[in-house]
Amino acid sequence: MKRLFVHATILTMKEGEKPLADAALAVEDDRIAYVGPVPSETDGYDEVVNMAGRAILPGFVNTHGHAAMSLLRGYADDDPLKTWLEEKIWPMEARFGPEQVRWGSALSVLEMIKGGTTCFLDMYDHMDQVGQVVEEAGIRAVLCRGAIGLCSEEERRAKLEEAVRFAREWNGAAQGRITTMMAPHAPYTCPPDYIARFVDKARELGLPLHTHMSETEAEVRQNVEQYGLRPVEHLRRLGVFDGPALVAHAVHLTPEEIAILAECGVKVSHNPGSNLKLGSGIAPIPQMLEAGIRPALGTDGPASNNNLDMLEEIRLAALIHKGVHRDPQAVPAPVALRMGTLYGAEALFLEDRIGTLEPGKKADFITIDLTGPHMQPLHDVESHLVYSASRDDVLDVYVDGRPLLRNRQCLTLDEEKIRYHAQKAFDAIRP
């Protein structure tokens, strides 16, 4: 299948490259074949689409979340992380079975597609259900069976075995759209020897590690009291940073810890919406950028955000650090956009495949309506996407060259069916 999109404003997201006006994007099967001026000859294409008044850019990459938690959206608000998890979320998650994970994840995947996300990371339980939703939806995903080690040794062993089985079986599934990671939940829920066992398995399987880290001040304090070390040094000594690793949150870091993360090449998923809502704090993103880290963005779960809107995370990332540092240049718009696209691809170790629009890469891209009044006058598309656009402006979503959303209509998932089953799945566990 050969498709040509013409007369678009194209943002390739390649470092230092400015938006291309009146440009064309050619797609052959699942890959990008051409980006540049509109060709004079358009014969030989199965479809030529006029994209005047639209931007084309790489799809957003959501680097941290728990999709099934959409069933708990609004169930527990306005609590700090520890209370939220221990008193509200974990008791409800104990009632979750495969049905809850299936329909909660389907609801989230639908929301993500409609908001322009083409790839997401998910850490949860019953992950076969999430894998099946990804297969059906046509989206790209990095999946990991998260493990909380606050249980018996027998249960810990079972969770680790399950994480290994899942990671082995699903890596490369859905025509390569799914990759996997190994995910001990956090240093405060996994004893050191348990994390070390995840590290060993990750190395054996050749997979990256993913974990929550330094999300709250209380968690850092607890780590020091329990192990005599702050989380960064604790995880470094356990070997987590000796291979590819992605940490979510990284809110409470010292300058020395930032230097360690930079030196070890650790990827960071910045989750501004979730961190604000749980009152966890604001990650030192400008300092990370200064140290050479390229932070990515994540929504975290829909119960702590409470949506999966990557344009909102991009905007938050561009705004909150300006306020905190009283510096309007703290996170400029082009950097915020790359945090939601290219840096996301890097954080998921997928930059060879996605993250920029260039020949040879997978055709994962979105189109955004530039004709709304809030997008006028069109001085600077990057500025408008970050500071003015909303997810309702996302018109089309393509993954592997396949349309998943066209003119805001999802082609792969049945919205009404998902809404019905998600409600039913929640009603079945309602306390």
Ligand X SMILES: CSC[C@H]1O[C@@H](n2cnc3c(O)ncnc32)[C@H](O)[C@@H]1O
Binding site feature residues: 64, 66, 93, 145, 156, 185, 212, 215, 300
Residue in this structure with the two tokens 């322009």, named with its chain if needed = 116
**54 interacts with, out of ligand X, Zn ion, none, CB within 5 to 8 A per kind:** none
Smallest distance, Å, CB 92 to Zn ion? 15
Give the contacts of 185 (CB within 8 A, at least 6 positions apart): 123, 146, 147, 148, 149, 211, 212
CA proximity to 60, closest of 134, 119, 18: 119
Question: Nearer Cβ to ligand X, position 212 or 267?
Answer: 212
- What binding mask, one character per residue, do residues 349-388 give for Zn ion by CB under 5 A, x or -? ----------------------------------------
Please report whether residue 35 would count as binding ligand X according to CB under 6 A.
no
Based on the shown chain and the rule CB under 6 A, indicate whether residue 190 belongs to the binding site for ligand X. Answer: no
Give backbone dihedrals phi and psi of 243, rounded to 5 degrees, phi first.
-135, -170
**Interface with Zn ion includes 300 (CB under 5 A)?**
yes
# binding residues, ligand X (CB under 6 A): 18
> CB-wise, 303 or 368, nearer to Zn ion?
303
State in Å, rounded, how far the first CA of the chain is from the last one.
50
Can you state the angle between helices 192-205 and 153-170, rounded to 10 degrees? 20
What kind and span of H or E run contains 143? strand 140-147
* Binder of residue 89, out of Zn ion, ligand X, none (CB less than 5 to 8 A by kind): ligand X
Find the radius of gyration of the CA atoms of the chain: 21
* Interface map 301-330 toward ligand X (x if CB under 6 A): x--x--------------------------
CB of 350 to ligand X, least distance (A): 21
Note whether 355 and 337 are within 8 A (CB): no
DSSP-based helix, strand, coil % in the chain, nearest 5: 40, 20, 35
Q: Are strands 31-37 and 47-50 parallel, antiparallel or unpaired?
A: unpaired
Task: Look at strands 140-147 and 117-124 and give their pairing.
Answer: parallel
Q: How far is the CB of 215 from ligand X (least distance, A)?
A: 5
Stretch that binds ligand X, among 117-125, 262-270, 306-314, 365-373 (CB under 6 A): 117-125
Q: Which of 215, 309, 346, 400 binds ligand X (CB under 6 A)?
A: 215
Closest CA to 13 of 46, 56, 63, 45: 56
Which residue lies nearest ligand X, judged by its C-beta? 146
Verify binding: residue 148, ligand X, rule CB under 6 A: yes
215 or 346: CB nearest Zn ion: 215
Q: Please choose which of Zn ion, ligand X, none residue 185 contacts, taking the beta carbon within 5 to 8 angstroms, the exact cut-off set by kind.
A: ligand X
DSSP code for 39: P
Cβ atoms within 10 Å of 40's Cβ, excluding its own: 5
- Residues making up the binding site for substrate: 93, 145, 156, 185, 215, 300
Residue 300 found at the interface with ligand X (CB under 6 A): yes
